[in-house]
C-alpha cells in the first residue's frame, strides 16, 4: 500500500500543491495566491451576469386569485 499524495495545481499560479492538512491554503499554494483570487472576485473579474433577466419584471399579472367568480 502506498499512501498517494494528491497534488493539485494552484488556480492562481499553477504551482503544484499537495492536497493535505499541511497545505493550509489549498487549493492555493499560499495565502497570497488565495488573496489574489479573492481580489479577482471582488473586482468583478468573475462577474455573474444578472443583468439580462427581465422576464420576471415584465411578467403580466395573469393570476389574480383575489376574486372568486360566482361568489356574488
Q: Which residues bind Zn ion (CB under 5 A)?
A: 10, 12-13, 15, 29, 33
Q: Which residues touch 32 (CB under 8 Å, ≥6 apart)?
A: none
CB of 34 to Zn ion, least distance (A): 8
Considering beta carbons, is residue 8 or 13 the nearer one to Zn ion?
13
Nearer to Zn ion, 15 or 19 (CB): 15
Q: Minimum Å distance from CB 32 to Zn ion?
A: 7
Distance separating alpha carbons of residues 8 and 59, to the nearest angstrom: 46
Q: How far apart are the first and last CA of the chain?
A: 81
Amino acid at each position: 500500500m502506498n499512501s498517494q499524495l494528491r497534488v493539485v495545481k494552484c488556480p492562481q499560479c499553477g504551482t503544484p500543491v499537495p492536497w493535505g492538512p499541511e497545505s493550509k491554503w489549498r487549493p492555493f499554494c499560499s495565502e497570497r495566491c488565495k488573496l489574489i483570487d479573492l481580489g479577482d472576485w471582488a473586482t468583478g473579474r468573475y462577474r455573474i451576469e444578472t443583468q439580462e433577466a427581465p422576464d420576471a419584471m415584465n411578467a403580466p399579472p395573469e393570476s389574480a386569485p383575489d376574486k372568486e367568480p360566482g361568489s356574488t
